[in-house]
Amino acid sequence: MTKTFDSENFLRHLTHQPGVYRMYDEAGDVIYVGKAKDLRKRVSSYFREKVDRVKTQVLVKQIADMDVTVTNTEAEALILENTFIKKYRPRYNVLLRDDKSYPYIILTDHQHPRLGFHRGARRQKGDYFGPFPNGAAVRESLRLMQKIFPVRQCEDSYYRARSRPCLQYQLKRCLAPCVNVCTDEEYAEQVRFAKQFLGGKNQQVIDQLVSKMETASEALDFERAARYRDQIAMLRRTQERNSVTGAQQELDVIGLARGNGFVTVQMLFVRDNHLQGSRSYFPKVPADTPDDELLRAFLLQFYLSDTAGRKVPSEIILPADASRDDVLAEVMGQAVNKKVRLLQNVRGERKQYQQLAQKNAVNALESKLNQQSTMNRRTKALEQVLELGVPIQRMECFDISHTMGQQTVASCVVFDQNEPKKTDYRRYNIDGITPGDDYAAMSKALAKRYDNAKEAGNIPDILFIDGGKGQLAQAEKYFADWGKETPLLIGVAKGESRKPGLETLIMAGSHETIPLNKDASALHLIQHIRDESHRFAITGHRQKRGKAKKTSSLEQIEGIGAKRRQKILKNLGGLHEVKNASIEQLANVPGISRALAEKIYYSFRDE
């Protein structure tokens, strides 16, 4: 029997103070969180006889219980509301699904600083520049920096191990401080220029380089003068190429577009007088949610999240038709201990940025809708090819990636009728098999994914296996006793030349092959799913391989931790020297006993 919520009794005892209210369904799950300046007045609005908004009507029908938390001010209620939304993820609230931290460029605090990519907590000492909208923007900036300023971008382990200049020195993209080709003063000068350039002081850098060039020319040091001349020319070309510039030091601009059940929030990031890039977000928004509520929820979740690297600028430009919200601005300012301005009615340069953000939001929404339309068309084409007779709701695909049998990773990607469901993607580390045995790896991956799938209720309609009959046989073997619940198993075999467009589908059981034309929509869908599975597996494998490379082989020896490893490397000069050291040399390191020295010595010989 459905539990009826006694709203009259609840409202009778409700306070007029500010606070946060939570609504629960029959199962006890939080379905909505809201804040109020006056709790009784706000909550009572849900239970009036005539409620215009469809969202509110549907929500009220599902309320089984409510509770409130009183706060001192409306600003405190806003912060608590955001905390509860992140904690409970209610289905009737606007939800921003964005857990990635923003990437930065780091200039490390070393004797010879390194320019590099950084994402995550800023534990390493150095100067951070950004944030950038995505990793591609950082890498593009680093490639440009390498052409202009010969500052090293290699990892510290590579830098310490050099005995002669590498190729970057030959290409004039590094001064080779690792082998003392340049003086510390020369290197520090280029580091200073790079730092000023990243800080937006392009003209100041050019003026200094012009002065350096003239000084070198007067001293008849024409080779040095020519290097400064080339740097100046590159910087001027960079200035010409960067057409979106202005006088805004730090500014975020938001655009908003809605259509066909989708919402796009577009962010433009202006830092140091330059538009650094943009990013599109597609938050989960309940139907009939007003724009002001959507923007407020987005701003709170975007800026007040715990994600590392997210920075609140002094000014945020909202869409032109957004309402003024002084409480929200106050809360955001309190969170970062500075004044934050939320602006809607702007002019001049800010107006141009506002229009640009809106144009990008509309474009992103159209791309999203077109992508959905294409996915629907391709999915229906696949239904016809397979003669299913029922709509496909969920498709999954597996792939295996490794290097010579090492760091084996299996990927599982998930698609529905509209798009990839990236929240359902999974990677599985595969251990305990013969290196390079892809069949055993596939068998283990299937077991990890589907051993508890029946209870979870997330069994796909179609399971694609990237491979031929051998890989498909592993899936057939695993699902042999599943009966009617077995998903449709299909192997995706590459053609003889392994070129896209020559794939064939191998059906489980009969092993009948279904060749598809190169321009078939169904084949394009399968290629998309297969390529995404391959990309996801490769990415996971590279991460695992990179982690293994960064882990010192010394720490794998029993009795050697991070501190002892550092002491050994410091005393002997590097891992190569440690591997070639005698037992006596190892035993002379402070804190290393004769027995431990023997263990280190023989562990490298046993390899």
**Residue range 385-414: average pLDDT?**
87
CA torsion through residues 340, 256, 264, 364, sign? negative
Domain with 333 in it: 250-365
Using CA atoms, how far apart are residues 378 and 482, in angstroms rounded to an integer? 29
Pairing of strands 488-493, 462-466: parallel
Same domain assignment for residues 320 and 426: no
- Residue 34 reports pLDDT greater than 50: yes
Band (244; pLDDT cuts 50, 70, 90) = very low
- Residue 203 reports pLDDT greater than 80: no
Q: Between 116 and 557, whose confidence is greater?
A: 116
- Residue 1 reports pLDDT greater than 50: no
Ranges 97-101, 199-203, 321-325, 448-452: which has the least confidence: 97-101
- Give the residues across from 395 on adjacent strands: 415, 462
Using CA atoms, how far apart are residues 181 and 200, in angstroms rounded to an integer? 29
Q: Give, for 411, the enclosing helix (H) or strand (E).
A: strand 406-415
In a domain, 372, yes or no: no
pLDDT in tens, 271-298: 766 666 678 888 888 877 888 889 988 8
Band (414; pLDDT cuts 50, 70, 90) = very high
- CA dist 191 to 128, 196, 229, Å? 14, 9, 17
In a domain, 94, yes or no: no
Radius of gyration, alpha carbons of the chain: 30
In a domain, 599, yes or no: yes
- Residue 356 reports pLDDT greater than 60: yes
Using CA atoms, how far apart are residues 208 and 521, in angstroms rounded to an integer? 58
pLDDT in tens, 456-472: 778 899 999 887 888 88
Other Cβ atoms less than 10 A from the Cβ of 270: the count is 24
Q: What is the pLDDT of residue 307?
A: 46
Ranges 256-260, 300-304, 438-442: which has the least confidence: 300-304
Using CA atoms, how far apart are residues 108 and 110, in angstroms rounded to an integer? 6
CB 22 within 8 A of CB 66: yes
Q: What is the pLDDT of residue 243?
A: 40
Mean pLDDT of the chain: 82
Share of the chain above pLDDT 90, in %: 7
Share of the chain above pLDDT 70, in %: 89
Using CA atoms, how far apart are residues 565 and 576, in angstroms rounded to an integer? 13
In a domain, 95, yes or no: no
Same domain assignment for residues 558 and 540: no
The CATH code of the domain that includes 16 is 3.40.1440.10
Count Cβ neighbours within 10 Å for each residue of 544-567 and write b for 16 or more, e otherwise.
bbeeeeeebebeebeebeeebbee
Same domain assignment for residues 188 and 165: yes
Count Cβ neighbours within 10 Å for each residue of 399-415 and write b for 16 or more, e otherwise.
bbbbeeeebbbbbbbbb
Respond yes or no on whether the N-terminal peptide bond of residue 290 is cis (omega within 30° of 0). Answer: no
Using CA atoms, how far apart are residues 27 and 271, in angstroms rounded to an integer? 47
Q: What is the pLDDT of residue 96?
A: 74
Q: Between 414 and 272, whose confidence is greater?
A: 414
Count Cβ neighbours within 10 Å for each residue of 454-491 and write b for 16 or more, e otherwise.
eeeeeebbbbbbbbeeebbbbbbebbeeeeeebbebbb
Same domain assignment for residues 399 and 528: yes
Residue 281 phi, psi dihedral angles, 5° rounding: -125, 145
Pairing of strands 504-507, 513-515: antiparallel
User: For residue 280, what are the contacts with CB-CB under 8 A and spacing of at least 6?
Assistant: 264, 265, 266, 267, 360, 361, 364
pLDDT in tens, 126-177: 888 777 767 777 787 788 778 778 888 888 888 888 888 888 888 888 988 8
Closest to 147 in 3D by CA, of 85, 271, 234? 234
Which of the listed residues 530, 547, 564 is the one where a domain comes to its end?
547
Ranges 96-105, 182-191, 526-535: which has the least confidence: 96-105
In a domain, 409, yes or no: yes
The CATH code of the domain that includes 433 is 3.30.420.340
Task: Tell which phi-psi region holds residue 172, choosing left (phi > 0), alpha (psi between -120 and 50) or beta.
Answer: left
Q: What is the pLDDT of residue 145?
A: 79
Q: What is the pLDDT of residue 58?
A: 83
**Residue range 302-313: average pLDDT?**
67
- Residue 242 reports pLDDT greater than 60: no
**Residue range 467-486: average pLDDT?**
87
Other Cβ atoms less than 10 A from the Cβ of 33: the count is 24
Same domain assignment for residues 462 and 566: no
Band (93; pLDDT cuts 50, 70, 90) = confident
Using CA atoms, how far apart are residues 560 and 593, in angstroms rounded to an integer? 12
Which of the listed residues 365, 384, 411 is the one where a domain comes to its end?
365
Same domain assignment for residues 411 and 542: yes
Q: What is the pLDDT of residue 308?
A: 43
Q: What is the pLDDT of residue 318?
A: 93
Which of the listed residues 88, 114, 149 is the one where a domain comes to its end?
88
In a domain, 98, yes or no: no
**Residue range 323-344: average pLDDT?**
84
Q: What is the pLDDT of residue 394?
A: 92
Using CA atoms, how far apart are residues 425 and 432, in angstroms rounded to an integer? 23
In a domain, 187, yes or no: yes
Return the structure tokens found at 365. 């929404």
Same domain assignment for residues 133 and 218: yes
Return the structure tokens found at 166. 């590498």
Band (202; pLDDT cuts 50, 70, 90) = low
Q: How many domains does the chain have?
A: 5
pLDDT in tens, 487-518: 999 988 876 655 665 678 888 888 888 877 87
Using CA atoms, how far apart are residues 27 and 64, in angstroms rounded to an integer? 9
Same domain assignment for residues 413 and 543: yes
Using CA atoms, how far apart are residues 296 and 256, in angstroms rounded to an integer? 12
Same domain assignment for residues 404 and 538: yes
Q: What is the pLDDT of residue 97?
A: 66
Q: Between 51 and 415, whose confidence is greater?
A: 415
- Residue 581 reports pLDDT greater than 60: yes
Using CA atoms, how far apart are residues 287 and 191, in angstroms rounded to an integer? 52
Using CA atoms, how far apart are residues 485 and 462, in angstroms rounded to an integer? 11
pLDDT in tens, 64-75: 888 888 888 888
Same domain assignment for residues 437 and 355: no
Residue with tokens 């010579």: 404
Using CA atoms, how far apart are residues 304 and 291, in angstroms rounded to an integer? 19
Q: What is the pLDDT of residue 425?
A: 92
Band (339; pLDDT cuts 50, 70, 90) = confident
Same domain assignment for residues 122 and 20: no
Same domain assignment for residues 542 and 557: no
The CATH code of the domain that includes 559 is 1.10.150.20
pLDDT in tens, 513-553: 887 787 788 888 888 888 888 889 888 888 877 666 555 56
In a domain, 120, yes or no: yes
CB 196 within 8 A of CB 206: no
pTM for the whole thing? Answer: 0.56
